[in-house]
Amino acid sequence: MTGLTGALLVAAVALTGCSASGSTSDGREAVGPGPDNADVPYPDPETSELAVDPDLTDPAQDALSTFALDIDTGSYTRFRDAVANGMSIDPSEVRTEEFVNYFAQDYAAPESGLGVSVDGAALPFEPEHRLVRVGISSAPVSNAARDDADLALVVDCSGSMGDAGKMETTKTALRTLVASLRSTDRVGMVCYSTEARTVLEPTSLSERDGVLAAIDDLAPQESTNAAAGLALGYDMAMSMRTEGRMTRVVLISDGVANVGETDPDGILSRISTEAKSGINLISVGVGITTYNDHLLEQLADQGDGWHVYIDTEAEAERVFATGLTGSLVVAATDARAQVEFDPAQVSGYRLLGYENRAMADEDFRNDAVDGGEVFAGHTTTALYEVALRDSKSREPFVTATVRYLDDSGAAVERSSTLAGSACATSPREASPRLRQDLVVALLTDRLVGGPWSSVVSGEDLRAEAETLPAALDGDPDVTELVDLVHQVTT
């Protein structure tokens, strides 16, 4: 064995370590990390022989890591589609959190709102370092319990949608969505090319055949006026708003905009305004060619929704059939996390991903600053590389706090901690899902040429990935991940 599965792993096992555990406390307005205690002085850390890594943040200088939560998965499925077509995606389109979000986790679901947990394991290629996993899960909601839905479907009908099967993928996704809705739900549909037009007035799903016929009639046309399409779609959504029902805009597009307002900032301005009124945007990307990843991801962020990429009929089924309620029902609004590291125990840390979701530390408890929306039954994960001074300490070296607004608009905070002695001594001793997340993080690091790619070979990554299916009962998503790892490392 080599690398992750050989001598370096043996070195990691020599460390003292742990089960994945942490103490958890909940409550509204609980005291946690943030501006309220940012001025508390830390004890001077003891001198350590551990060299300061230039890739890591020194907690003595900045002990807090703050970001808005994100449940997007589009970056991973776009990567999967690219590999299937013998292509690659630009490193700037690789978002680690979206890769990790795609896979099942093992967090306990809270009874309401959001729950938070923290666990960790020694990194075999850097034995003094830990991979720390901050896991956030939302309460599930049954389809029977959800409010009726009013959906404004905004469909890109531009000429570029005629390429690479984009329009057929769009129709498949829409048919799947419509088939999964209740007869008491309503949909309307806007089609945009050079101009935007209404192709289906708001219609009850008791008239499902008429809705499906309108979908069948969609066809690629001329240029792409995305701003006009979204403006008309939001107008339709506003006209559909009814007390006791939820209103959503669902955009399906390749993200290209070449006429009308083409600047992303201009297109985003109205989206952000409408999101504050409770109309969330679900951004659905299609098509491996001529694709604007940045616009579609940012539309979802500004629209207080989430971004997915549909590459297969099975993915459409996963998002719009099996996971329909989780696609529509918001479990927590303006959600953000703040992770605090103890400088006496930590010499450096690095958040993997969330580059687009960073927040100022002082805004953690400022609810006027927009956070992220977490939909029902979803999980989101933040991974950190953490350099410890003392792996045997029983005192918490990290505290993770999530803050969000509940249905009444009240702020809720929940926290969890982790001590060095509670970290697994190696990935093999950790939770199988934490091992899975390590493989995903190593993959994204390799795709972007990150700091781990110089010390973990493709052979090492493949060897670690190959252990996952047996540990996770043949999870088909994980089996597919192993195949993708093989394809990009050989």
With beta carbons less than 8 A apart as the criterion, state whether 114 and 140 touch.
Answer: no
pLDDT tens digit sequence for 181-201: 999 999 999 999 999 999 999
Phi/psi of residue 367, nearest 5 degrees: -75, -5
pLDDT of residue 262: 60
Supply the pLDDT for residue 259: 67
What b/e sequence results for 313-344 when a residue is b if at least 16 CB atoms lie within 10 Å of its CB, and e otherwise?
eebbbbbbeebbbbbbbbbbbbbbbbbbbbbb
Asked if residues 484 and 87 have their Cβ atoms less than 8 Å apart, the reply is no
Residue 280 and residue 249 in contact, taking contact as beta carbons nearer than 8 Å: yes
| Triad 59, 60, 61: Cα angle to 5° | 85
pLDDT at site 261: 66
| C-alpha dist (Å) from residue 471 to 263, 267, 456, 479 | 47, 45, 22, 11
Determine the 3-state secondary structure of 202 from DSSP: strand
Q: Per residue in 115-154, is it b (16+ CB within 10 Å) or e — as a string?
A: bbbbbbbbbbbbbbbbbbbbbbbbbebeeeebebbbbbbb
Q: What was the pLDDT predicted at 263?
A: 65
Confirm if 300 and 250 have CB atoms less than 8 A apart.
no
The CA distance from 264 to 293, in Å, is 11
Render pLDDT for 364-416 as a digit per residue (tens, 0 to 9): 999 999 899 999 999 999 999 999 998 899 999 999 999 999 989 999 999 99
Q: What is the mean pLDDT of each run of 10 residues along the chain (490 residues)?
A: 41 36 40 40 40 83 97 96 95 97 96 96 95 97 92 95 91 96 97 95 97 96 88 94 94 82 67 80 92 89 91 94 91 96 97 95 94 94 96 95 94 98 95 98 97 96 96 97 97
CA atoms within 13 A on the CB side of 142: 2
The residue among 462, 483, 386, 474 whose CA lies nearest residue 104 is: 474
Query: Which two three-digit tokens encode residue 396?
Result: 């918490």
SS3 247: strand
Residues 255 and 295 sit within 8 Å (Cβ to Cβ): yes
How confident is the model over 15-26, as pLDDT tens digits? Answer: 333 433 343 434
Residue 4 is predicted with a pLDDT of 56
